[in-house]
């Protein structure tokens, strides 16, 4: 592939998400849909209308679960007449896509963690912390049940188990990080995420509409259990966590450069150390080290106070979503053999919710805290203010953000650990 085509492809992947973000900031209904969902939609559209060359059936059989092959191997296959020039181009594009996926994930992880203030949040959200522990217990229980039910029906179900842990502790960022660390096939990644979006949409509507009334039949209400009174300025600070307003101003650009610079240090240290371990473990090691450094750096006020680090991290997640979606083959994704995967995802979503409510009943956690914990872990922090507004209870916003961002921090460790344990 000519160098100029590579440059154009990379520019598209980094610039089109800016357009997506612009649309979500200008159009209310698109903001409700979300930039990540839009990136998946446009990525799938791009990858399935013929603009991006696809590998032929013979080459896909040779690739198996690999994204691409080294250049020398591909040339050898070409000389043998096993593949053609279109396969060569498809392989080169896949190589660029794989490099981009690795790059954006490694930088997104620390940027999403820099704004974390563990000490302050733990003091403000003791009940939220209990609810987080109950949610983790519920999720682990549901995933383990699902794994043993489907381990003989789904290939590499241990990897999918790890992915689901990541997905339901930190949303797309942790799902992306764990899938990269476990070298998940792109179609399996996309299909898991697609099933989650379908099932998750119904759950989100439930959480925003009748969940509060239903859960109040079993759980104490927030009003009865807590005295209201979280400072409005604290709420306002976090309600804009998904806003990109001002990010391209002179001040915003300075903050972006500072945040990216610190992230670069974390990636350089974590990535450098990971080169000391066997190649098969390098990505996992890098993710764990960079996650740890992101948490450590977040405790330094000079780093914690840098503005727009969370938004920059989410921008990289949007880039990731666009890239990985453009690699998906819709025809292969919705093959009937993946029906068991849909069942696995549904079991984890609904099973963990039921178990979580039962545990909240035992430990007397209020209904609003339970709902906001589910929201933060399943849908990520940007959804917290939306659901809190639907609950007409802004006092749970800080608790929800606490759980959500702690989920980012915990999810990478827990997802990778569960995957390798089940393996």
With a CB cutoff of 8 Å and minimum separation 6, the contacts of 418 are 140, 143, 161, 162, 165
Residue 368 lies in a domain: yes
Q: What is the pLDDT of residue 9?
A: 92
Q: Which two tokens stand for residue 135?
A: 């949610």
Calpha distance 409→403 (Å, rounded):
10
Calpha distance 94→55 (Å, rounded):
10
User: Does residue 290 or residue 82 have the better pLDDT?
Assistant: 290
> Average pLDDT, stretch 251-268?
95
Calpha distance 419→423 (Å, rounded):
6
Domain count, the chain: 1
Within 10 angstroms of residue 100's Cβ, the number of other Cβ atoms is: 19
CA nearest neighbour of 263 among 315, 318, 208: 315
The DSSP code for 268 is H
Where b means 16+ CB within 10 Å and e means fewer, 145-183 reads: ebbeebbeebebbbbbbbbbbbbbbbbbbbbbbbbbbbe
Residue 15 lies in a domain: no
Q: What is the pLDDT of residue 335?
A: 56
Question: pLDDT band at residue 371, thresholds of 50, 70 and 90?
Answer: very high
With a CB cutoff of 8 Å and minimum separation 6, the contacts of 174 are 166, 167, 407, 408, 411, 412, 415
Residue 98 lies in a domain: no
CA nearest neighbour of 373 among 163, 215, 175: 215
Q: Which two tokens stand for residue 260?
A: 């990216």
* Per-residue pLDDT at 158 exceeds 60: yes
Q: What is the pLDDT of residue 20?
A: 93
Question: pLDDT band at residue 312, thresholds of 50, 70 and 90?
Answer: very high
Question: pLDDT band at residue 288, thresholds of 50, 70 and 90?
Answer: confident
Residue 101 lies in a domain: no
Q: What is the pLDDT of residue 235?
A: 40
Calpha distance 284→287 (Å, rounded):
5
Residue 47 lies in a domain: no
> Average pLDDT, stretch 244-260?
91
Residue 118 lies in a domain: yes
Q: What is the pLDDT of residue 423?
A: 84
What's the pLDDT tens digit per position in 178-224? 887 888 777 777 778 778 877 887 888 888 888 999 999 989 888 77
Considering the chain, what percentage of its residues have pLDDT values greater than 90? 31
* Per-residue pLDDT at 34 exceeds 60: yes
Calpha distance 37→24 (Å, rounded):
11
Q: What is the pLDDT of residue 135?
A: 93
**Domain interval for residue 168:** 106-422
Calpha distance 241→234 (Å, rounded):
12
Question: pLDDT band at residue 230, thresholds of 50, 70 and 90?
Answer: very low
* Per-residue pLDDT at 231 exceeds 50: no
Residue 295 Ramachandran class (φ > 0 left, ψ -120 to 50 alpha, else beta): alpha
Q: Which two tokens stand for residue 264?
A: 């670069």
* Per-residue pLDDT at 289 exceeds 70: yes
Q: What is the pTM of this model?
A: 0.70
Q: Vertex 236, ends 250 and 122: CA angle to 5°? A: 110
- Helix, strand, or coil (residue 163): helix
Residue 122 lies in a domain: yes
Within 10 angstroms of residue 416's Cβ, the number of other Cβ atoms is: 23
- DSSP string of 10-63, one letter each residue: HHHHHHHHHHHHHHHHH-HHHHHH-HHHHHHHHHHHHHHTTSS----HHHHHHH
Each as own residue / partner, the long-range contacts of residues 12-15 (CB below 8 Å, 24 or more positions apart, any chain) are 13/100, 13/319, 13/322, 13/323, 14/319
Mean pLDDT of the chain: 83
User: Does residue 399 or residue 104 have the better pLDDT?
Assistant: 104
* Per-residue pLDDT at 330 exceeds 80: no
Chain centroid to Cα 67, Å, comes to 20
With a CB cutoff of 8 Å and minimum separation 6, the contacts of 348 are 139, 142, 143, 146, 164, 168
Q: What is the pLDDT of residue 391?
A: 83
Calpha distance 374→66 (Å, rounded):
34
Q: What Rg, from alpha-carbon coordinates, does the chain have?
A: 21
Q: Which two tokens stand for residue 56?
A: 């032929």
| Most confident option among 51-55, 113-117, 211-215, 239-243 | 211-215
Residue 275 lies in a domain: yes
């Amino acid at each position: 592939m000519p160098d100029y085509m590579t440059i154009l492809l990379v520019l598209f992947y980094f610039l089109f998400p800016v357009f997506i973000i612009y649309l979500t900031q200008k159009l209310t209904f698109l903001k409700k849909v979300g930039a990540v969902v839009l990136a998946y939609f446009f990525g799938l559209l791009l990858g399935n209308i013929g603009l991006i060359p696809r590998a032929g059936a013979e080459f896909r059989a040779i690739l198996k679960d690999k994204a691409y092959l080294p250049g020398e191997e591909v040339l050898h296959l070409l000389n043998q007449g096993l593949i053609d020039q279109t396969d060569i181009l498809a392989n080169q594009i896949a190589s660029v896509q794989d490099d981009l996926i690795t790059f954006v994930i490694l930088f997104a992880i620390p940027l999403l963690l820099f704004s974390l203030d563990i000490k302050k949040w733990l003091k403000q959200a003791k009940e939220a912390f209990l609810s987080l522990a109950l949610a983790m217990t519920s999720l682990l229980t549901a995933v383990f049940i699902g794994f043993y039910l489907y381990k003989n029906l789904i290939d590499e179900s241990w990897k999918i188990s790890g992915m689901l842990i990541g997905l339901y502790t930190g949303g797309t960022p942790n799902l992306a990080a764990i899938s990269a660390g476990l070298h998940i096939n792109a179609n399996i990644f996309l299909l898991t995420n697609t099933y989650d979006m379908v099932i998750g949409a119904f759950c989100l509507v439930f959480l925003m509409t009748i969940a509060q009334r239903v859960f109040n039949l079993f759980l104490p209400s927030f009003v009865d259990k807590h005295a209201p009174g979280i400072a409005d300025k604290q709420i306002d600070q976090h309600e804009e966590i998904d806003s990109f307003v001002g990010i391209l101003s002179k001040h915003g650009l300075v903050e972006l450069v500072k945040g990216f610079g610190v992230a670069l240090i974390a990636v350089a240290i974590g990535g450098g150390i990971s080169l000391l371990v066997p190649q098969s473990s390098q990505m996992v090691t890098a993710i764990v080290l960079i996650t740890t450094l992101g948490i450590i750096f977040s405790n330094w006020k000079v780093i914690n106070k840098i503005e727009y680090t969370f938004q920059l991290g989410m921008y990289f997640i949007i880039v990731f979503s666009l890239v990985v979606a453009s690699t998906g083959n819709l025809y292969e994704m919705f093959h009937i053999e993946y029906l068991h995967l849909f069942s696995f995802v549904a079991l984890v979503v609904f099973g963990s919710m039921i178990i979580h409510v039962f545990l909240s009943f035992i430990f007397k956690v209020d209904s609003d805290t339970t709902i906001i914990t589910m929201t933060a872990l399943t849908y990520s922090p940007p959804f917290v203010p939306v659901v809190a507004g639907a609950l007409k209870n802004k006092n749970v916003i800080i608790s929800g953000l606490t759980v959500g961002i702690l989920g980012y921090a915990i999810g990478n460790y827990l997802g990778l650990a569960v995957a390798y344990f089940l393996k």
